[in-house]
Amino acid sequence: MNRFFERVSASVAMACGQPGAFILAFAIIVVWGVTGPIFHWSDTWQLVINTGTTIVTFLMVFLIQNAQNRDASAIQAKLDELIRAGGRARNEFIGIEHLSEPELIGLRRVLESIAGDEVAHHKAIERLIARR
């Protein structure tokens, strides 16, 4: 179920970011506006656009958030690899944003364990800040 949702959300987020999606949404608004006089600018006529936009917005929030969460996890893992590798990053990290959320979390954990002790990292950061 998670993998299906990830695939659907990535596809919908990608499609909604295309010019065609904007043109379709704009066309719907124009058609709605043109039909105003036909329906005598009634409350029902207004309710149609309000309900439609509310539903679309509600659903898009979840789809976009899912896509952003996955992208952020992938970017973080890539950055971790660049820091760990010291300029010798592996090409296998290209395209990891297509991994599932559990796979990205597992990858980050492995990279963090390779990097070593977290306390030592914090002390090194504190020393770096103190030099400023």
- pLDDT tens digits, 55-98: 999 999 988 888 888 888 888 888 888 877 776 777 788 888 88
d(CA 54, CA 46): 12
Domains contained in the chain, number: 1
Max avg pLDDT among 10-24, 27-41, 80-94, 102-116: 27-41
pTM, whole model, 2 decimals? 0.59
Mean pLDDT value across residues 96-109: 88
Confidence tier at 37 by pLDDT (50, 70, 90): very high
Half-sphere exposure of 101 (CA within 13 A, CB side): 15
* Per-residue burial over 35-72, b = 16 or more CB atoms within 10 Å of its CB, e = otherwise: eeeeeeeeeebeeeeeeeeeeeeeeeeebeebbeebee
What is the percent of the chain where pLDDT is above 70?
Answer: 99
Angle between helices 2-16 and 101-115 (to 10 degrees): 100
Domain that holds residue 33: 2-130
The chain-wide mean pLDDT, for the chain, equals: 87
CB 108 within 8 Å of CB 48? no
Q: What pLDDT is recorded for position 70?
A: 84
